[in-house]
Each structure stands twice: as C-alpha cells, then as structure tokens.
Amino acid sequence: MGPSAAGRVKPGKLSGMYSLRAARACLRSLRGLRSWVAVAVLLVAVATTAGCGAGPSDRPVVAVERIEPGSPVETGESTPPPPPAPDLQVPKTDLPWRDCTSESLATTGYGPGPAGLVLECAELSAPIDSSGSSLGTFTIGVSRARLPQTPADAPPLVLTSGSNRASTDTLAGLASGPFGSLLSSRPIVALDRRGIGTSTPIDCIPADVRTELQNNGQGAPDEPVAIAEASQSATVACKDFLQPHELAFDTDHAADDLEQLRLVWQVDTLGLLGTGNGTKVALSYAQRYPQHVGRMILDAPEAVGLDATTITEQQVQGAEAALTAFAKRCTGLNCSLGPDPYAAVTDLVRKADAGDLGPISANALVTAVTGFLGSPRGDQINRVPELADALSAAGRGDYAALSALIEREQGATANDGEFVSRCTDGQQWPPVEKVRTLAEEWRKKYPVFGEQAALAMLSCSAWPTADAPPLPASLDIPVLVTRAIADPVVGAGGVSSVTGAVTNAGGEPSVIEWRGYGHPVSAHSGCVQQAIVDYAATANLPSNGTACPA
C-alpha cells in the first residue's frame, strides 16, 4: 500500500523543521444563526439533448434557502449588485514543468486520452506554516493538462480534489475523457494535497494496522472495538511520525499551498475548480484570501458545517443511487451479473461479510465498487462490463480481477495521507456504541454500502479533534456549483449547505445538476464542461436549477 521507501518522508526529516502554529484561528463570530435547508424536489424527465440547456420551464429548483430564526431580517431595501468578478491572468512566472504524459496515464490506468494530450508535472515548495513562525517546507505535487488547441495565453484553472483522491489523478481522469471543451479552452493545473498523490507521501501506519482498517476489523470477536483499537494504533503511529505537525494537513494548510502557487505565478487572482472534499479547500482559500479569488467552481461539493455521521450518510445515499444507476445500465447491456445486478452485488457483500468470498472482506469489496463508480475517468460510463465481470468472476470463485481492482482503489482512495487528511477534516466522529447502532440500522436501510460505511467512521475515532475551518465572510463573486443525482463519493445532500455558505458571504451561487452517476461532474458531462468554460471566460452563471442530461 505505501509508497516506495525512496519517496517517503522520514520522521527525522520532519522533526525539528518547523512547529505547529501556537493556536488555530477561531471561528468568526456570527451575529445570528442561519441554517440552510435543502428542499427535496421530484426530478422531472429531461428531453435527450446533446447540449446543456435550461430545461423545461417547470423544472425544479435544485436547492432552496430558508431563513431561520436568528438570521438577519430582510429590510426590503434593494441590494446593490456585486462588483464585477476580476479577470483571471496568465502566470508571469511558472514552475519548471516536465512532460509526464505516459507516466501519468500508465500510473492511473485511464488509457491514452485524446490525441495530443500533454500532461506535465512539477513540484511546488510550500512553507509548512504560512505565518512564518516555523521553518521548513513541504514538496507539493503539481500537474498541468493541455491539448494542442489549448490557447497559450489562456489563464489556467486550478483544480483540487482534496482528500477524496489525488488531484493529479482527478485531472488525468478528466483530461483523458471524451469531453474536451474545458481543456480546449484553457489549461488546468492540479495541486495534490499534502501527503497525497505526487506530493511527498506519508507512510506512517503499520502494515497490519492498515490491513485491519481496510477490512473494518472483519473476523474480530467485536468488529467496532477492533476498528477503534486499530484507529488508536494508527493515530499513535502517525502522530509519532509527524509530530509536532500532525494537524498541519487540514484544509487551511491546503489553502495556503494554493496561495503559494499564486505567489509563484505572480497573478492577482486564481480560478479555482474544487471537486468533492476539494470544495472545502476552495472555500477555505476564499476565507483566508478573499481578494485573490477570481472564479470559483464547486464541483460536486462535500457538505460544510455538518458532523461526520451526516456527511457519511449522504455519501452512502449517493453510492446506493450510483449503484442503482450502474445496475440499470448493466441490465441493458445484458452484463455478466445477470438480470438483477443490484441484487447480485448485495449478495456478494453478504458473502464477503460472512467470510465466504475467499480473501476479500466486505469493506474491501465496497471500497472497490465505490472507487470504481466514483472514478474521475471520463469514459467511465462505457466501462460497466469491467466491474461487472470482476464481480461475477469473484462470485464463481475467481478473485484475481476483483483483487486487482481492490488494490488499485485502495491505493487511490485509502492511503496514509488520505487517512491523516480525512480524519483531520472530520467533525464529531461517532463513538463505538453509536456506530454499533448505526451499522445495524444502515445495513437494513442501505444494503450494499451502509454497514461498512458506518463501521469505517471508527477509523478516525482516535484522531485529535480539530476545529472546523471558518467559512468565507466575504465572497463578492458569482459561484458555479454542480451536483450529480447519483454521486458515490459525496452524495447530493451537501449542496444546500454550500450554497448557503456562499450566499451568507455575499456571493451569488448557481447550481447546475447532472442527471447521471459518477464523480466529479466535470469529468463526466460535456454539458457541465461547457457551462464551466462560459463561466471561466465571462463570470456569467447559468440559470439556477439548470439541468444537464446523463
């Protein structure tokens, strides 16, 4: 699972280089309490179309904000329009790029990509603490994607997918897909989060403990207790490895790394494309550096201001919806999972949970399925047989293809750097007894993903609690938000909390919804890509509630 020894951070290299900031920034005091409530609306059929349109006149609004008691009272006075969004700029200076097209595509397994695709890699040296109170730097991995027709004088968008998956991996998937309008209009630059992807990796969890976490303690007399004990062991090991810097992997520090890129480029503003958990990094950047935000695209955002249990359940709901959509397509293709693919996958999870699927645990199985359905690979919709065949072969006792898929997805979404970042970002991780109850409830409510997702929350139960990062206080630009109706990585329930945060900061959000399954939306929908192209060029938003067909 871990990276090669040659590329690992050694404990001695981290110790003594810098110290943790004396205190974390306090949350901004609010004059009133505002909560933002999503209103569930029945989805209406959208006529098949090759382009992105506003849809029928009676289309549902994606999210409705409701002012609760304690919120500022509406006065009836007209609100002046926000100032125009600043123009994006071409970097005045740049990183020392090298061609890494073949290397990147081979590592990710996304295929050759479109003709002329160029992926370039570089490294960014970022201070551990932007305040300057500590010495030392981290090496942050950066990649850039462009096509032959990409204008040389077009300002780039900066992509971050946070702790869900390496940003460079997400960019490779987006760039190698069938939709090229976004990349044809401007280059995209991806910044990996600290300890993830091509950034200096973290290798701190002992192998046996990592296996215990990956398998959710399966086979132990008391699985929740076993996971909690493994969390304790992983936390002690990683804190010893990183101390005193174990909390330097949060969204605030990730935002500071984006700012370091802006300083290297010598530009006034950044155009940010945050996907999934990376939307929290983008929002943190807007809170810390509001004057330097030129564009903000929050692509399939993870919810803000919610506890870990709620966010996890939203993800589970999205995974169940994505598997349902996959199963429908699988049936239409007469795939190897038979007439009821959803039932076939459910049966495999039950077999794995009982120890009847050879070496494959239930959590390893659902990690592979979720990772596959949530891959940023742009042609994912055409790869239904790949997952179906691996699962059906495992059902017959041939585990080779599924084991390879598990190894790939665990490496992409469950490495030590992601453990540290995910646990640091989470709020109010539930205790053992609460998880025990949730595992039973979710097993019935969400047959494929529920039980394992509940148990997996204990992986972070021993990690030091960090304050939630403050949300932007001033965001005077239009913000483009996307969501998928079946998102296996974050679900669709977090959009209202994000649009509420944007509105509360003075920004203007507009939501565009994609009717397909996958994550992030920009990697899978040409319609959404075109909306991003238009917004990046002009700062003009599509109508709120615009629908893009699957």
217-258 tens-digit pLDDT: 999 999 999 999 999 999 999 999 998 888 889 999 999 999
Number of domains in the chain: 2
Distance of CA 392 to the CA centre of its chain: 29
The pLDDT tens digits of the residues spanning 63-80 come to 333 323 223 333 344 445
Q: Name the phi and psi angles at 31, rounded to 5.
A: -75, -25
Question: Rounded to an integer, what distance in angstroms lies between the CA atom of residue 314 and that of residue 448?
Answer: 14
Residue 1 has pLDDT above 50, yes or no: no
Note the pLDDT of residue 133. 66
In-domain check, residue 513: yes
In-domain check, residue 191: yes
Question: Rounded to an integer, what distance in angstroms lies between the CA atom of residue 486 and that of residue 518?
Answer: 7
Whether the Cβ atoms of residue 255 and residue 223 lie closer than 8 Å to each other? no
The mean predicted confidence, pLDDT, of the chain is 86
218 and 348 co-located in one domain: yes
274 and 125 co-located in one domain: yes
219 and 355 co-located in one domain: yes
Note the pLDDT of residue 108. 87
The pLDDT tens digits of the residues spanning 386-424 come to 999 999 999 999 999 999 999 999 999 989 999 999 999
Mean pLDDT for 437-447 is: 98
134 and 260 co-located in one domain: yes
Note the pLDDT of residue 45. 31
Note the pLDDT of residue 316. 98
In-domain check, residue 13: no
Share of residues in the chain with pLDDT > 90 (%): 75
Residue 14 has pLDDT above 50, yes or no: no
DSSP 188-234: EEEEPPTTSTTSPP---S-HHHHHHHHTTTTTSSSHHHHHHHHHHHH
In-domain check, residue 182: yes
Domain edge (last residue) among 436, 460, 484: 460
Give the position of tokens 């004990």.
229
Closest C-alpha among 195, 197, 145 to residue 167: 197
Domain edge (last residue) among 460, 484, 518: 460
Note the pLDDT of residue 132. 67
139 and 216 co-located in one domain: no
335 and 480 co-located in one domain: no
The pLDDT tens digits of the residues spanning 314-361 come to 999 999 999 999 999 999 999 999 999 999 999 999 999 999 999 999
Note the pLDDT of residue 81. 59
318 and 418 co-located in one domain: yes
416 and 354 co-located in one domain: yes
Give the domain range for residue 125: 86-195+249-305+471-548
The pLDDT tens digits of the residues spanning 242-300 come to 988 888 899 999 999 999 999 999 999 999 999 999 999 999 999 999 999 999 999 99
Contacts of 289 (CB under 8 A, 6+ apart): 255, 259, 262
Note the pLDDT of residue 451. 98
Question: Rounded to an integer, what distance in angstroms lies between the CA atom of residue 266 and that of residue 269?
Answer: 9
CATH number of the domain at 480, please: 3.40.50.1820
Domain edge (last residue) among 415, 434, 460: 460
Whether the Cβ atoms of residue 39 and residue 499 lie closer than 8 Å to each other? no
142 and 268 co-located in one domain: yes
In-domain check, residue 334: yes
Note the pLDDT of residue 499. 97
Mean pLDDT for 150-160 is: 97
341 and 426 co-located in one domain: yes
191 and 268 co-located in one domain: yes
446 and 489 co-located in one domain: no
